[in-house]
Structure 1
Amino acid sequence: MTTMLKKKPLLGFWGLWNISFGFFGIQIAFALQNANVSRIFQTLGASIDDLPILWIAGPVTGLLVQPLIGYFSDRTWGPLGRRRPYFLGGAILCSIALVAMPNSSALWMAASLLWMLDASVNISMEPFRAFVGDMLDERQRTAGYAFQTVFIGAGAVVASLAPALLNNVFGVSNVAPEGVVPDSVRWSFYLGAAMALGAVLWTVLTTREYSPDQMAQFTRETGPETPHAAAVPSLVGAFAWIAAGAVIVALVSALGLDNPLYILGFGLAAFGAAQIANHVRAASGRSAGVLGHILSDLWSMPQTMRRLAVIQFLSWFALFILWVYATPIVTQYQFGSTDTASVAYNEGADYVGVLFAVYNGIAALYAFAIPAIAARIGTARLHALNLVAGGLGLASFAVIGDPNLLMVSMVGIGMAWASILSLPYSILCGALPQNKLGIYMGLFNIFIVLPQLVVATVMGALVRHLYPEAPVVSFLIGGGFMVAAAAASLRLSRTTQ
């Protein structure tokens, strides 16, 4: 009887629905951004090789916001619980940004609002990941993250199809004068703002989190891994990070490389400086602050988390290439136009939304099958197979000329997307201490945003200098990274099988 009381009760269908439904709204905002921000930037005058640096808001805000939100949400308890105050506040800010962005009159304004939108999405997204882990017993964890993936896919389908549906069904114009965002995009963002806030409110109002006392009673069927031995890096390592950043900055200045590479250099140096500051604090005998806790937990990640971090880095490098370059590549290669005011370009841009809806729809449907397949062949093997399918889907853009055939490519990408959204988190939860689930989920996000930061600072230079006439090569690179992630998945411990 005692053992049973220490297990979280299993949730029924509607319980799983309620704890995950808010992600439907968050994903609407995320998918509207992914499918339309490059279009908005190009409409306001951005060139194709400017796009990666304009997208820098995503990785930077994720890198800074999610670990902080994870740290504080682990230590929060109030009338709304532990996680719910954060994803509600993020949803409110997100809705404001969605309403404002398509009304941008200048590129700098749209770029600034992307920072706000990305920050608010990250504020909501991180505690939702931990929320599912908080609420579910180990027996339902894979099903819980798969259920969340269903809503992520459904929200993305709605958001991705919105401009095309408004245009083709309701007659809302998808073209506008030069420098003006079309009405179909504008109204998609308005509707998205309402749905994002409404879906998050549903979860806030229909769920009740376990209190700290209740959480203390629950034990795992299998305990978390022992943290890595080296909890704090040496000062030598800290100065090495600073030196690496300084070398990059010096090379950019001396060789006249692209200015976005400065961000990478200064980022590495800042990471080293943060470690030195943490050493100074520890040497002075002061208690660990936010920075100390975050750095300590970062360097004491369990081994499974370290291996998953490599897989996430490679996977998300490929995904960010897809999101940044899908619109310019499809409009140029499959629709034959780079003129943002032309009918062909805007038809191609709308079609990108359709393609995104297809792969998200496939992800939502496939997520229902993931728990059963994972139980049969193992989570790591299944993840590897799905990532190979995604890599082939990305690479196929380079050889497909008929836009209708790109639907086949979306099947593989949808399988990979469903897997990326569920299986790593299911594996990760089993390796983490429950009282640090928020901070470790936030730290895990670092290995999602770091590849985005690399893409944002490096891919523009690659496109400009190595293959300026063939930007579709970027999709071949993305496919290669996805297959490399599949190979890394096979190295996961047999305990994850």
Structure 2
Amino acid sequence: MRDKPRQNFAGLWNISFGFFGIQIGFALQNANMSRIFQSLGERVDDLAILWIAAPLTGLLVQPVIGYFSDRTWGRFGRRRPYFFGGAVLATLALFGMPNAPGLFAAAMLLWMLDASLNIAMEPFRAFVGDMLRRDQHTAGYALQTAFIGAGAVIGSATPFLLDRLGIANVAGGGGVPDTVRYSFYLGGAVLFAAVAWTVLTTREYSPAELAAFDGLAAAPHDPPPAPPASTLGGLAWIGAGGGIALLVLLLRLEKELALLGALVALYGVARLAAGWLHARGASDNVLTHIVGDFAGMPPIMKRLALTQFFTWSALFIMWIYTTPVVAQYAFGSADPASAAYNAGGNWVGILFAMYNLVAALTAAFLLQPMARRFGKGRTHAGALVIGAIGFLSFFGLRDPYALLLAEVAIGIAWASILAMPYAILASSLPQRKLGIYMGLFNIFIVVPQLLVATVMGTIVRHFFPTEPIWTMAFAAAVMLLAALSMLRVREGDGGEGVSVAG
């Protein structure tokens, strides 16, 4: 057999259906966590630091899960044990989140929820690449995006719909309202059922089969890459991290910025440790693989990394600040205990549902023909420009219903963000390292979120503490930078010389 069997629509459906449930969990988190934090007494300018658990968890979890899933094979398959285990833990976190007794408990549950969702999500990205031929990669990731959009619509809109059914939308004496509480319960149940569907209806290819498809000899796994040998490089990263921490101390900057310095220094320590292990022959371990593969990324992955950095900076700003922006400017209240603010919080769920609905429709009907005509790279760049226009629209659209137009533009960008970079990578990366490369690619989603979480609160506090609308201008600017960076992506930059133009 020279190539994988072509999957019909039912096969494509089964492979990606679990993402429907996972995205319900992400949608509930994205649309409601700021609301839960504020209901528990947190100020708007401190929201960003509480969100830091989410990207930090992804940074640590996804490369490790990618590494181990590449090397896993047993009775239950290669990727499926990971996304099933993640789904079980995420379900438990969703059940517990709305019952958090205080801010600390809510932050810890957010950490657990995001870790679990990342454990489930990372293997799904590689799973599509494992199961599909190259000429079906765009179709596979587009359908996955459609499921993501559909799941996010349901997750985002559920509090609004429960309110319409008569469920209490304001908690007596403050706290988390019943609309949010029941939404998290329903979301946990659906997440578990959707992932179980994929687990029960798919059969993974064994490592020997995957090797045969690529015309390679069967092997347990690839040999370990050589990590960076320069001790000076590791020390430079440690010094840079220490310099950031020193600036925080001398300039009396926000303490959260010190976390960024700690992460930079930690990478330097990881480089030194990986080099030390490699020099002593102990190179076949998770640390040397992650550090070595990160340093030796294919050129196309490096170019896409810059795009991802800017793109996800913009998205994280949107997820943190849309609720206070909409509540204040479209519903006239900045008081989290007021009925108007909570009505605005519900409307944010509808706005998020709209951009996800548009993303689902765009992925299902437009992405593939646009990519065939203009190429994946140009299609993605154009979609990011449209997304930037959507962020800028918040300045001119103050009517709640008019804001739906802004979400249409954001939804077009979101469809491409969830499909095009992964379709490009899956066709360009070596099959046996797809899990770890997809996990490492997540670093360029996580790092900008950490940066936003540590810096954006400081910017809001010092420059526009009562005018959060300006966060949308930041989001638009960095999204335009993401579009410009796509001009650097050239066909033939992949590890296997595959064109990204089709």
TM-score band w.r.t. shorter chain: over 0.9
Q: How does 1:226-375 map to 2 (within 5 A)?
A: 232=228, 234-368=230-364, 369-375=366-372
Give the letter aligned to residue 186 of structure 1. Answer: R
The CA deviation string for residues 211-260 of structure 1, in whole angstroms up to 9 with x for no partner, is 1121111128xxxxxxxx99525222211111111111111112211111
Contact 1:281 1:288 in 2 (8 A): no
1:463 aligns with 2:450: no
Are 1:496 and 2:500 counterparts? Answer: yes
Moved over 4 A (4+): none
Cα separation, 1, equivalents of 2:464 and 2:261: 24
Q: How does 1:364-403 map to 2 (within 5 A)?
A: 364-368=360-364, 369-403=366-400
Summarize deviations over 1:423-461 as a string: whole Å, max 9, x none.
000001122110000000000000000000000000000
The answer to whether 1:481 aligns with 2:478 is yes
Deviations 1:319-376 (A, max 9, x none): 0000011111111111111111211001000000000000000000000121111001
- Partner amino acid for 2:358? I
Give yes or no for contact 1:88–1:201 (8 Å, CA) kept in 2.
yes
Could you tell me how far apart the structure 1 residues matched to 2:74 and 2:419 are?
Answer: 29
Matched residue SS, 2:401: helix
2:424 corresponds in structure 1 to 427
CA distance, structure 1, for counterparts of residue 177 and residue 429 of structure 2 = 46
| Alignment partner, residue 198 of structure 1 | 193
Query: TM-score normalised to the size of structure 2?
Result: 0.95
After superposition, the CA RMSD in angstroms is: 1.3
- Counterpart check, 1:97 vs 2:93: yes
Amino acid of the structure 1 residue aligned with 2:202: T
Map of 1:152 onto structure 2: 148
In structure 1, which of residues 33, 40, 44 is the aligned counterpart of residue 40 of structure 2? 44
Which letter maps to 1:441?
M
Alignment check: 8 A CA contact 1:43 1:178 kept:
no
Cα distance between partner residues in 2 of 1:436 and 1:286? 20
Q: How does 1:55-204 map to 2 (within 5 A)?
A: 55-168=51-164, 170-204=165-199
Is the 2:86–2:116 Cα contact (8 Å) retained in structure 1? Answer: yes
**Conserved 8 A contact 2:245-2:261:** yes
Match of 2:437 in 1: 440
CA offsets per residue over residues 121-159 of structure 1, 9 Å max, x none? 000000000000000000100000000000000000000
- The separation in 1 between residues aligned to 2:319 and 2:15, in whole angstroms, is 28
**Offset at 1:282?**
2.1
1:245-304 CA-to-partner distances (Å, cap 9, x unmatched) read: 111111111221111101101111111111111122223332332100110000110000
* Inter-partner Cα distance in structure 2 for 1:367 and 1:234: 44
Q: How far apart, CA to CA, are the structure 1 residues paired with 2:72 and 2:173?
A: 48
Letter in 1 for 2:435: G
> 2:401 — aligned with what?
404
The answer for unaligned runs of 5 or more in structure 2 is: 216-224, 492-498
SS in 1 for 2:260: helix
What SS does the aligned partner of 1:349 have?
Answer: helix
- SS in structure 2 opposite 1:159? helix
Query: Greater shift after overlay, 182-191 or 283-292?
Result: 283-292
Paired amino acid for 2:184: F
Residue 14 in structure 1 maps to residue 10 in structure 2? yes
Farther off after superposition, 230-239 or 138-147: 230-239
Q: Measure the CA separation in 2 of the matches of 1:306 and 1:162.
A: 38
Distance 1:85 1:109 in 2: 28
Indicate conservation of the 8 Å contact 2:227/2:278, yes or no. no
Residue 29 of structure 1 corresponds to: 25
Aligned residues of 2:227 and 2:274 also touching (Cα < 8 A): no
Q: How far apart in 2 are the matches of 1:231 and 1:259? A: 32
Q: Gaps (5+ residues) in structure 1?
A: 221-228
Question: Cα offset for 1:399?
Answer: 2.5
Q: Equivalents in 2 of 1:477, 1:8: separation in Å?
A: 44
2 CA distance for matches of 1:384 and 1:279?
Answer: 38
One-letter identity of the residue aligned with 2:54: G
Letter in structure 1 aligned against 2:456: M
Report the AA paired with residue 212 of structure 1: P
Whole-angstrom distance in 1 between the partners of 2:209 and 2:266: 40
Give the Cα separation in 1 of the matches to 2:93 and 2:414.
26
| TM-score of the superposed pair, with normalisation by structure 1 | 0.96
Q: Distance in 2 between matches of 1:431 and 1:363?
A: 24
Structure 2 contact 168–177 (Cα < 8 Å) conserved: yes
Question: Quick one: distance in 1 between partners of 2:500 and 2:153?
Answer: 31
Which piece of structure 1 moves more, 131-140 or 254-263? 254-263
Count of paired positions: 485
The offset of 1:20, in angstroms, is 0.4
Q: CA offsets, 1:73-116, max 9 Å, x none?
A: 00001111000000000000000000000011111110010000
